[in-house]
Structure 1
Amino acid sequence: MPIKAVESQRLYRRIAEEIARLIKRGEYRPGCRLPPERDLAAMLKVSRPSVREALIALEVEGYVDVRVGSGVYVSRAGGTRVKVMPLASDSGPFELITARRLLESECAALAAKNASQLQIRRMRAALSAMIRDRKRNVMPLENDRRFHLEMAEAAGNSALALLVRTLWDQRTGPLFLQLEHHFDTPTLWDAAIAEHQSVMVAIEAHDGAKARATMRRHMDQAARRFQKSWTIGVPRSQQASRRQHGVGNGAA
Protein backbone atom coordinates (compact mmCIF):
# COMPACT_ATOMS: atom_id res chain seq x y z
CA MET A 1 0.00 0.00 0.00
CA PRO A 2 1.55 3.35 -1.01
CA ILE A 3 2.06 5.65 1.92
CA LYS A 4 4.23 8.70 2.42
CA ALA A 5 6.52 9.18 5.39
CA VAL A 6 5.77 12.25 7.49
CA GLU A 7 8.45 14.33 9.16
CA SER A 8 7.94 14.07 12.92
CA GLN A 9 8.33 17.78 13.57
CA ARG A 10 5.17 18.51 11.58
CA LEU A 11 3.12 16.77 14.26
CA TYR A 12 -0.53 15.78 14.11
CA ARG A 13 -1.77 18.14 11.39
CA ARG A 14 0.51 16.76 8.69
CA ILE A 15 -0.25 13.21 9.81
CA ALA A 16 -3.99 13.90 9.66
CA GLU A 17 -3.65 15.32 6.16
CA GLU A 18 -1.78 12.21 4.99
CA ILE A 19 -4.37 9.82 6.43
CA ALA A 20 -7.19 11.95 5.00
CA ARG A 21 -5.47 11.77 1.60
CA LEU A 22 -5.44 7.97 1.77
CA ILE A 23 -9.11 7.91 2.75
CA LYS A 24 -10.03 10.19 -0.16
CA ARG A 25 -8.04 7.99 -2.55
CA GLY A 26 -9.95 4.94 -1.40
CA GLU A 27 -7.03 3.22 0.34
CA TYR A 28 -9.28 3.04 3.40
CA ARG A 29 -12.94 2.75 2.48
CA PRO A 30 -15.98 3.81 4.56
CA GLY A 31 -16.54 1.36 7.41
CA CYS A 32 -12.97 0.07 7.17
CA ARG A 33 -10.98 -0.25 10.37
CA LEU A 34 -7.70 1.66 10.27
CA PRO A 35 -4.43 -0.07 11.21
CA PRO A 36 -3.45 0.13 14.90
CA GLU A 37 -1.71 3.29 16.07
CA ARG A 38 1.58 1.42 16.43
CA ASP A 39 1.48 0.38 12.77
CA LEU A 40 0.49 3.85 11.56
CA ALA A 41 3.30 5.39 13.60
CA ALA A 42 5.81 2.97 12.04
CA MET A 43 4.53 3.58 8.51
CA LEU A 44 4.53 7.36 8.93
CA LYS A 45 7.76 7.43 10.98
CA VAL A 46 6.24 9.46 13.81
CA SER A 47 5.39 8.92 17.48
CA ARG A 48 2.22 7.18 18.63
CA PRO A 49 0.99 10.25 20.59
CA SER A 50 1.22 12.30 17.37
CA VAL A 51 -0.80 9.64 15.54
CA ARG A 52 -3.42 9.74 18.28
CA GLU A 53 -3.69 13.52 18.00
CA ALA A 54 -4.08 13.17 14.23
CA LEU A 55 -6.84 10.57 14.58
CA ILE A 56 -8.69 12.76 17.07
CA ALA A 57 -8.42 15.68 14.62
CA LEU A 58 -9.82 13.44 11.87
CA GLU A 59 -12.67 12.41 14.16
CA VAL A 60 -13.49 16.06 14.89
CA GLU A 61 -13.51 16.70 11.12
CA GLY A 62 -15.71 13.70 10.38
CA TYR A 63 -13.25 11.41 8.59
CA VAL A 64 -13.14 8.66 11.22
CA ASP A 65 -15.12 7.27 14.12
CA VAL A 66 -13.30 6.18 17.28
CA ARG A 67 -14.98 3.21 18.95
CA VAL A 68 -13.48 2.51 22.36
CA GLY A 69 -13.13 -1.24 22.74
CA SER A 70 -12.88 -1.81 19.00
CA GLY A 71 -10.66 0.65 17.13
CA VAL A 72 -10.77 3.53 14.65
CA TYR A 73 -12.98 3.24 11.56
CA VAL A 74 -13.38 5.34 8.44
CA SER A 75 -16.60 7.29 8.78
CA ARG A 76 -19.35 6.53 6.31
CA ALA A 77 -19.90 10.29 6.18
CA GLY A 78 -16.44 10.58 4.58
CA GLY A 79 -15.41 13.86 6.15
CA THR A 80 -18.60 15.69 5.22
CA ARG A 81 -19.14 17.29 8.62
CA VAL A 82 -18.33 20.95 9.05
CA LYS A 83 -14.57 21.12 9.51
CA VAL A 84 -13.20 22.68 12.68
CA MET A 85 -9.64 23.89 13.20
CA PRO A 86 -9.02 22.12 16.51
CA LEU A 87 -6.75 24.72 18.12
CA ALA A 88 -5.82 28.16 16.88
CA SER A 89 -2.31 27.60 18.23
CA ASP A 90 -2.05 24.30 16.30
CA SER A 91 -0.97 22.64 19.55
CA GLY A 92 -2.04 19.06 20.11
CA PRO A 93 -3.28 17.66 23.45
CA PHE A 94 -0.02 15.88 24.24
CA GLU A 95 1.97 19.01 23.42
CA LEU A 96 -0.19 20.91 25.90
CA ILE A 97 0.33 18.25 28.57
CA THR A 98 4.10 18.38 27.98
CA ALA A 99 4.11 22.17 28.27
CA ARG A 100 2.01 22.04 31.42
CA ARG A 101 4.35 19.44 32.90
CA LEU A 102 7.31 21.78 32.46
CA LEU A 103 5.54 24.88 33.74
CA GLU A 104 3.38 23.50 36.52
CA SER A 105 6.07 21.35 38.09
CA GLU A 106 8.15 24.49 38.60
CA CYS A 107 5.07 26.38 39.79
CA ALA A 108 4.51 23.66 42.38
CA ALA A 109 8.12 23.95 43.58
CA LEU A 110 7.84 27.74 43.80
CA ALA A 111 4.48 27.52 45.56
CA ALA A 112 6.05 25.28 48.20
CA LYS A 113 8.59 28.03 48.80
CA ASN A 114 6.50 31.19 48.36
CA ALA A 115 2.84 30.42 49.13
CA SER A 116 1.23 32.40 51.93
CA GLN A 117 -1.08 30.72 54.42
CA LEU A 118 -4.04 32.30 52.63
CA GLN A 119 -2.92 30.87 49.28
CA ILE A 120 -2.41 27.44 50.82
CA ARG A 121 -5.94 27.60 52.24
CA ARG A 122 -7.27 28.50 48.78
CA MET A 123 -5.51 25.52 47.20
CA ARG A 124 -6.78 23.25 49.95
CA ALA A 125 -10.31 24.62 49.45
CA ALA A 126 -10.15 23.87 45.72
CA LEU A 127 -8.97 20.32 46.43
CA SER A 128 -11.73 19.83 49.01
CA ALA A 129 -14.26 21.04 46.43
CA MET A 130 -12.94 18.44 43.96
CA ILE A 131 -13.49 15.72 46.55
CA ARG A 132 -17.03 16.96 47.27
CA ASP A 133 -17.79 16.99 43.55
CA ARG A 134 -16.76 13.36 43.23
CA LYS A 135 -18.87 12.34 46.24
CA ARG A 136 -21.85 13.92 44.46
CA ASN A 137 -20.92 12.10 41.22
CA VAL A 138 -20.07 15.39 39.54
CA MET A 139 -16.93 15.57 37.42
CA PRO A 140 -14.73 18.17 39.20
CA LEU A 141 -13.30 19.96 36.15
CA GLU A 142 -13.92 23.51 37.36
CA ASN A 143 -12.35 22.89 40.75
CA ASP A 144 -9.49 21.02 39.08
CA ARG A 145 -8.78 24.16 37.05
CA ARG A 146 -9.18 26.26 40.18
CA PHE A 147 -6.58 24.18 42.05
CA HIS A 148 -3.98 24.52 39.30
CA LEU A 149 -4.54 28.24 38.85
CA GLU A 150 -4.38 28.89 42.61
CA MET A 151 -1.10 26.98 42.70
CA ALA A 152 0.28 29.03 39.81
CA GLU A 153 -0.66 32.26 41.59
CA ALA A 154 0.99 30.99 44.78
CA ALA A 155 4.25 30.51 42.88
CA GLY A 156 4.72 34.28 43.09
CA ASN A 157 5.50 34.86 39.41
CA SER A 158 2.77 36.61 37.43
CA ALA A 159 4.27 35.60 34.07
CA LEU A 160 4.16 31.92 35.01
CA ALA A 161 0.60 32.30 36.28
CA LEU A 162 -0.44 33.88 32.96
CA LEU A 163 1.15 31.05 30.97
CA VAL A 164 -0.56 28.39 33.08
CA ARG A 165 -3.92 30.13 32.64
CA THR A 166 -3.37 30.34 28.87
CA LEU A 167 -2.60 26.63 28.59
CA TRP A 168 -5.67 25.78 30.65
CA ASP A 169 -7.80 27.91 28.32
CA GLN A 170 -6.38 26.06 25.30
CA ARG A 171 -7.19 22.65 26.74
CA THR A 172 -10.91 23.39 26.30
CA GLY A 173 -10.51 23.28 22.49
CA PRO A 174 -12.22 20.59 20.39
CA LEU A 175 -9.17 18.31 20.12
CA PHE A 176 -8.61 18.01 23.86
CA LEU A 177 -12.32 17.70 24.62
CA GLN A 178 -12.74 14.94 22.04
CA LEU A 179 -9.75 13.03 23.39
CA GLU A 180 -11.05 13.31 26.95
CA HIS A 181 -14.49 12.14 25.85
CA HIS A 182 -13.05 8.71 25.09
CA PHE A 183 -11.10 8.18 28.30
CA ASP A 184 -12.52 10.13 31.25
CA THR A 185 -14.11 7.92 33.89
CA PRO A 186 -14.93 8.36 37.59
CA THR A 187 -12.11 5.92 38.42
CA LEU A 188 -9.58 8.05 36.59
CA TRP A 189 -10.82 11.15 38.42
CA ASP A 190 -10.29 9.33 41.73
CA ALA A 191 -6.68 8.69 40.72
CA ALA A 192 -6.23 12.32 39.65
CA ILE A 193 -7.59 13.60 42.97
CA ALA A 194 -5.15 11.38 44.85
CA GLU A 195 -2.33 12.87 42.76
CA HIS A 196 -3.53 16.39 43.62
CA GLN A 197 -3.50 15.45 47.29
CA SER A 198 0.16 14.41 47.01
CA VAL A 199 1.02 17.77 45.44
CA MET A 200 -0.91 19.59 48.17
CA VAL A 201 0.87 17.73 50.99
CA ALA A 202 4.26 18.62 49.49
CA ILE A 203 3.35 22.30 49.16
CA GLU A 204 2.01 22.44 52.72
CA ALA A 205 5.28 20.88 53.91
CA HIS A 206 7.22 23.55 51.96
CA ASP A 207 9.08 20.74 50.20
CA GLY A 208 9.87 22.19 46.78
CA ALA A 209 11.62 19.11 45.39
CA LYS A 210 8.74 16.84 46.35
CA ALA A 211 6.15 19.29 45.03
CA ARG A 212 7.95 19.39 41.69
CA ALA A 213 8.22 15.60 41.53
CA THR A 214 4.57 14.96 42.47
CA MET A 215 3.30 17.47 39.90
CA ARG A 216 5.47 15.88 37.20
CA ARG A 217 4.10 12.50 38.19
CA HIS A 218 0.54 13.85 37.95
CA MET A 219 1.10 15.19 34.43
CA ASP A 220 2.85 11.98 33.36
CA GLN A 221 -0.14 10.01 34.59
CA ALA A 222 -2.49 12.36 32.72
CA ALA A 223 -0.60 11.64 29.49
CA ARG A 224 -0.75 7.89 30.15
CA ARG A 225 -4.49 8.08 30.78
CA PHE A 226 -5.00 9.55 27.31
CA GLN A 227 -2.68 7.04 25.63
CA LYS A 228 -4.59 3.94 26.70
CA SER A 229 -5.44 1.58 23.88
CA TRP A 230 -8.71 2.21 22.08
CA THR A 231 -9.10 -1.53 21.63
CA ILE A 232 -9.40 -2.16 25.38
CA GLY A 233 -13.02 -1.93 26.41
CA VAL A 234 -14.33 0.38 29.11
CA PRO A 235 -16.24 -1.50 31.85
CA ARG A 236 -20.00 -1.24 31.41
CA SER A 237 -20.45 0.30 34.86
CA GLN A 238 -18.08 3.12 33.90
CA GLN A 239 -19.73 3.54 30.50
CA ALA A 240 -23.08 4.04 32.24
CA SER A 241 -21.57 6.54 34.65
CA ARG A 242 -20.00 8.46 31.76
CA ARG A 243 -23.37 8.74 30.02
CA GLN A 244 -25.13 9.77 33.22
CA HIS A 245 -22.66 12.48 34.18
CA GLY A 246 -21.57 13.70 30.78
CA VAL A 247 -17.93 12.82 31.32
CA GLY A 248 -15.48 14.36 28.90
CA ASN A 249 -13.54 17.14 30.52
CA GLY A 250 -10.30 15.87 31.79
CA ALA A 251 -8.55 14.43 34.82
CA ALA A 252 -5.44 16.55 34.43
Structure 2
Amino acid sequence: MILLGKRAVITGGSSGIGYEIAAQMGAKGARLVLTGRRPEPLAAAVERLKATGAEVFGVAGDITDGTARAVLLDQAVALLGGVDILVNNAGGVRAGRLEDITEDELRAMIDVDLLSPMLLTRLFLPELRRSGDGLIVNIASGIAQMGVPFYTGYAAAKGGLARFGEALRRELKGEGVHVITVFPGATDTPMMATNKADAGMGFALQPVADVVGSIIAGIEADAFEVVRGGDARKATLDLNRTDPAAIDQRFLDMKPALEAAVSGHSAL
Protein backbone atom coordinates (compact mmCIF):
# COMPACT_ATOMS: atom_id res chain seq x y z
CA MET A 1 0.00 0.00 0.00
CA ILE A 2 1.16 3.51 -0.82
CA LEU A 3 0.33 5.75 2.15
CA LEU A 4 0.37 9.07 0.30
CA GLY A 5 -3.17 10.45 0.40
CA LYS A 6 -4.61 7.52 2.34
CA ARG A 7 -7.25 8.32 4.96
CA ALA A 8 -6.50 6.62 8.28
CA VAL A 9 -8.29 6.32 11.61
CA ILE A 10 -6.06 5.38 14.55
CA THR A 11 -7.44 4.41 17.95
CA GLY A 12 -5.38 5.11 21.04
CA GLY A 13 -3.61 7.83 19.09
CA SER A 14 -2.69 10.17 21.93
CA SER A 15 0.57 8.45 22.87
CA GLY A 16 2.77 5.40 22.46
CA ILE A 17 2.49 3.18 19.40
CA GLY A 18 -0.68 4.90 18.18
CA TYR A 19 0.89 8.34 18.22
CA GLU A 20 4.03 7.11 16.50
CA ILE A 21 1.98 5.37 13.80
CA ALA A 22 0.24 8.69 13.21
CA ALA A 23 3.57 10.52 13.05
CA GLN A 24 5.11 8.11 10.57
CA MET A 25 1.97 7.82 8.45
CA GLY A 26 1.62 11.60 8.44
CA ALA A 27 5.22 11.98 7.29
CA LYS A 28 4.33 9.81 4.28
CA GLY A 29 1.35 11.97 3.38
CA ALA A 30 -1.53 10.07 4.96
CA ARG A 31 -4.49 12.07 6.25
CA LEU A 32 -5.38 11.20 9.82
CA VAL A 33 -8.11 11.02 12.43
CA LEU A 34 -6.94 10.08 15.92
CA THR A 35 -9.14 9.04 18.78
CA GLY A 36 -8.55 8.62 22.50
CA ARG A 37 -10.51 8.64 25.74
CA ARG A 38 -9.01 11.81 27.20
CA PRO A 39 -9.66 15.04 25.27
CA GLU A 40 -6.68 17.03 26.59
CA PRO A 41 -3.87 14.58 25.68
CA LEU A 42 -5.58 13.92 22.36
CA ALA A 43 -5.71 17.63 21.54
CA ALA A 44 -2.04 18.01 22.50
CA ALA A 45 -1.07 15.08 20.27
CA VAL A 46 -2.99 16.55 17.34
CA GLU A 47 -1.26 19.90 17.75
CA ARG A 48 2.19 18.29 17.88
CA LEU A 49 1.46 16.40 14.67
CA LYS A 50 0.05 19.47 12.93
CA ALA A 51 3.29 21.27 13.75
CA THR A 52 5.12 18.68 11.62
CA GLY A 53 2.89 19.47 8.65
CA ALA A 54 0.57 16.48 8.97
CA GLU A 55 -3.12 16.77 8.16
CA VAL A 56 -4.67 15.40 11.34
CA PHE A 57 -7.89 15.69 13.33
CA GLY A 58 -8.88 14.47 16.77
CA VAL A 59 -12.18 12.87 17.80
CA ALA A 60 -12.29 12.19 21.54
CA GLY A 61 -14.21 9.14 22.71
CA ASP A 62 -14.10 5.74 24.38
CA ILE A 63 -14.15 2.95 21.80
CA THR A 64 -15.83 0.62 24.31
CA ASP A 65 -18.94 2.82 24.00
CA GLY A 66 -21.19 2.14 21.03
CA THR A 67 -22.26 5.75 20.64
CA ALA A 68 -18.63 6.91 20.64
CA ARG A 69 -17.79 4.36 17.93
CA ALA A 70 -20.64 5.64 15.76
CA VAL A 71 -19.53 9.25 16.27
CA LEU A 72 -15.97 8.32 15.33
CA LEU A 73 -17.11 6.83 12.03
CA ASP A 74 -19.38 9.77 11.21
CA GLN A 75 -16.69 12.32 12.06
CA ALA A 76 -13.98 10.46 10.16
CA VAL A 77 -16.10 10.37 7.01
CA ALA A 78 -17.04 14.03 7.41
CA LEU A 79 -13.44 15.14 8.02
CA LEU A 80 -11.62 12.90 5.55
CA GLY A 81 -14.30 12.12 2.97
CA GLY A 82 -14.00 8.40 3.65
CA VAL A 83 -11.72 5.86 5.33
CA ASP A 84 -9.03 3.70 3.75
CA ILE A 85 -7.23 2.46 6.88
CA LEU A 86 -8.44 1.50 10.34
CA VAL A 87 -5.73 0.95 12.97
CA ASN A 88 -7.06 -0.90 16.02
CA ASN A 89 -4.36 0.17 18.45
CA ALA A 90 -6.14 1.17 21.68
CA GLY A 91 -5.51 -1.38 24.41
CA GLY A 92 -5.18 -2.02 28.11
CA VAL A 93 -3.37 -4.44 30.39
CA ARG A 94 -3.52 -5.68 33.97
CA ALA A 95 -0.91 -8.24 34.98
CA GLY A 96 -0.70 -10.48 38.03
CA ARG A 97 -1.98 -13.84 39.20
CA LEU A 98 -5.37 -14.66 37.72
CA GLU A 99 -7.01 -14.91 41.14
CA ASP A 100 -5.71 -11.43 42.04
CA ILE A 101 -7.22 -9.75 38.99
CA THR A 102 -10.78 -8.59 39.49
CA GLU A 103 -13.67 -9.54 37.25
CA ASP A 104 -14.01 -5.89 36.24
CA GLU A 105 -10.35 -5.79 35.19
CA LEU A 106 -10.69 -8.98 33.15
CA ARG A 107 -13.82 -7.65 31.47
CA ALA A 108 -12.09 -4.34 30.74
CA MET A 109 -9.20 -6.11 28.98
CA ILE A 110 -11.51 -8.25 26.88
CA ASP A 111 -13.59 -5.20 26.03
CA VAL A 112 -10.86 -2.80 24.95
CA ASP A 113 -8.38 -5.34 23.54
CA LEU A 114 -10.78 -7.65 21.70
CA LEU A 115 -14.50 -6.88 21.61
CA SER A 116 -14.25 -3.17 20.81
CA PRO A 117 -11.83 -3.66 17.88
CA MET A 118 -14.20 -6.31 16.50
CA LEU A 119 -17.21 -4.03 16.81
CA LEU A 120 -15.34 -1.01 15.44
CA THR A 121 -14.11 -3.04 12.48
CA ARG A 122 -17.63 -4.27 11.74
CA LEU A 123 -18.87 -0.68 11.81
CA PHE A 124 -16.10 0.60 9.51
CA LEU A 125 -16.23 -2.23 6.96
CA PRO A 126 -18.68 -0.57 4.53
CA GLU A 127 -16.41 2.49 4.31
CA LEU A 128 -13.30 0.36 3.93
CA ARG A 129 -14.96 -1.58 1.09
CA ARG A 130 -15.93 1.67 -0.60
CA SER A 131 -12.27 2.67 -0.54
CA GLY A 132 -11.39 -0.17 -2.93
CA ASP A 133 -7.96 -0.32 -1.26
CA GLY A 134 -8.90 -0.76 2.39
CA LEU A 135 -6.71 -1.91 5.24
CA ILE A 136 -7.27 -3.00 8.83
CA VAL A 137 -4.23 -3.04 11.13
CA ASN A 138 -4.71 -4.88 14.41
CA ILE A 139 -2.06 -4.26 17.07
CA ALA A 140 -1.88 -7.50 19.02
CA SER A 141 1.14 -8.43 21.18
CA GLY A 142 4.04 -10.85 21.33
CA ILE A 143 2.11 -12.38 24.24
CA ALA A 144 -0.57 -13.34 21.69
CA GLN A 145 1.97 -15.69 20.11
CA MET A 146 3.25 -17.29 23.32
CA GLY A 147 1.52 -17.22 26.69
CA VAL A 148 3.43 -15.56 29.52
CA PRO A 149 2.62 -16.24 33.18
CA PHE A 150 0.80 -13.46 35.03
CA TYR A 151 -0.63 -12.17 31.72
CA THR A 152 -3.48 -14.65 31.39
CA GLY A 153 -6.26 -12.15 30.68
CA TYR A 154 -4.11 -10.06 28.35
CA ALA A 155 -2.92 -13.16 26.48
CA ALA A 156 -6.51 -14.30 26.04
CA ALA A 157 -7.64 -10.93 24.68
CA LYS A 158 -4.68 -10.31 22.36
CA GLY A 159 -4.62 -13.94 21.24
CA GLY A 160 -8.27 -13.55 20.33
CA LEU A 161 -7.50 -10.37 18.39
CA ALA A 162 -4.79 -12.18 16.45
CA ARG A 163 -7.06 -15.02 15.38
CA PHE A 164 -9.86 -12.54 14.64
CA GLY A 165 -7.52 -10.75 12.24
CA GLU A 166 -6.41 -13.95 10.55
CA ALA A 167 -9.99 -15.17 10.07
CA LEU A 168 -11.16 -11.76 8.86
CA ARG A 169 -8.28 -11.50 6.38
CA ARG A 170 -9.48 -14.73 4.78
CA GLU A 171 -13.12 -13.65 4.96
CA LEU A 172 -12.34 -10.42 3.12
CA LYS A 173 -9.96 -11.90 0.55
CA GLY A 174 -10.85 -10.59 -2.91
CA GLU A 175 -13.10 -7.84 -1.55
CA GLY A 176 -10.62 -4.96 -1.55
CA VAL A 177 -9.85 -4.97 2.19
CA HIS A 178 -6.62 -6.42 3.60
CA VAL A 179 -5.88 -7.23 7.26
CA ILE A 180 -2.47 -7.07 8.97
CA THR A 181 -1.81 -8.33 12.50
CA VAL A 182 1.09 -6.83 14.44
CA PHE A 183 2.93 -8.65 17.22
CA PRO A 184 5.12 -6.07 18.98
CA GLY A 185 7.24 -7.08 21.92
CA ALA A 186 7.75 -4.89 24.99
CA THR A 187 7.85 -1.33 23.67
CA ASP A 188 9.04 1.85 25.36
CA THR A 189 5.64 3.52 25.78
CA PRO A 190 3.59 4.87 28.70
CA MET A 191 1.68 1.56 28.78
CA MET A 192 4.85 -0.15 30.03
CA ALA A 193 5.62 2.39 32.74
CA THR A 194 4.45 0.16 35.62
CA ASN A 195 6.14 -3.01 34.31
CA LYS A 196 9.41 -3.55 36.21
CA ALA A 197 10.56 -6.69 34.38
CA ASP A 198 13.93 -6.49 32.65
CA ALA A 199 15.53 -7.89 29.52
CA GLY A 200 16.54 -11.07 31.35
CA MET A 201 12.84 -11.76 31.89
CA GLY A 202 12.03 -11.18 28.23
CA PHE A 203 10.94 -7.56 28.55
CA ALA A 204 13.72 -5.64 26.81
CA LEU A 205 12.04 -2.38 25.80
CA GLN A 206 12.22 -1.65 22.09
CA PRO A 207 12.24 1.97 20.86
CA VAL A 208 8.75 2.89 19.72
CA ALA A 209 10.04 4.47 16.51
CA ASP A 210 11.71 1.17 15.53
CA VAL A 211 8.58 -0.86 16.29
CA VAL A 212 6.40 1.46 14.25
CA GLY A 213 8.96 1.58 11.46
CA SER A 214 8.43 -2.17 11.10
CA ILE A 215 4.65 -1.67 11.07
CA ILE A 216 4.87 0.94 8.33
CA ALA A 217 7.17 -1.30 6.30
CA GLY A 218 4.65 -4.13 6.70
CA ILE A 219 1.82 -1.91 5.51
CA GLU A 220 3.78 -0.81 2.46
CA ALA A 221 4.64 -4.45 1.66
CA ASP A 222 1.05 -5.71 2.10
CA ALA A 223 2.30 -8.13 4.76
CA PHE A 224 0.03 -10.54 6.60
CA GLU A 225 1.88 -10.14 9.90
CA VAL A 226 4.52 -7.95 11.50
CA VAL A 227 6.53 -9.82 14.14
CA ARG A 228 9.18 -8.01 16.17
CA GLY A 229 12.18 -9.71 17.74
CA GLY A 230 14.14 -11.10 14.80
CA ASP A 231 15.86 -14.48 14.83
CA ALA A 232 15.85 -14.73 18.64
CA ARG A 233 12.10 -14.32 18.76
CA LYS A 234 11.62 -16.85 15.96
CA ALA A 235 13.78 -19.38 17.81
CA THR A 236 11.75 -18.96 20.99
CA LEU A 237 8.45 -19.39 19.14
CA ASP A 238 9.80 -22.46 17.36
CA LEU A 239 10.90 -23.94 20.69
CA ASN A 240 7.49 -23.21 22.19
CA ARG A 241 5.94 -25.31 19.42
CA THR A 242 8.43 -28.17 19.44
CA ASP A 243 9.33 -28.35 23.15
CA PRO A 244 6.88 -26.30 25.22
CA ALA A 245 8.16 -27.96 28.41
CA ALA A 246 11.48 -26.17 27.88
CA ILE A 247 9.69 -22.83 27.83
CA ASP A 248 7.72 -23.86 30.93
CA GLN A 249 11.03 -24.53 32.70
CA ARG A 250 12.43 -21.14 31.70
CA PHE A 251 9.44 -19.43 33.26
CA LEU A 252 9.57 -21.66 36.34
CA ASP A 253 13.16 -20.64 36.98
CA MET A 254 12.29 -16.94 36.91
CA LYS A 255 8.72 -17.13 38.23
CA PRO A 256 9.13 -15.46 41.65
CA ALA A 257 11.15 -12.58 40.22
CA LEU A 258 8.83 -12.20 37.24
CA GLU A 259 5.73 -12.14 39.42
CA ALA A 260 7.24 -9.45 41.63
CA ALA A 261 8.24 -7.39 38.61
CA VAL A 262 4.95 -7.46 36.71
CA SER A 263 2.22 -7.67 39.33
CA GLY A 264 2.00 -3.89 39.44
CA HIS A 265 1.70 -3.60 35.67
CA SER A 266 -1.61 -1.91 35.05
CA ALA A 267 -2.78 0.35 32.24
CA LEU A 268 -6.55 0.13 31.86
Q: TM > 0.5 between the two?
A: no
**Structure with greater proportional strand content:** 2
Question: TM-score normalized by structure 2?
Answer: 0.26
Higher relative contact order (CA 8 A, sep 6+): 1
**Structure with greater proportional helix content:** 1
Question: TM-score normalized by structure 1?
Answer: 0.28
Pair member with larger Rg:
1
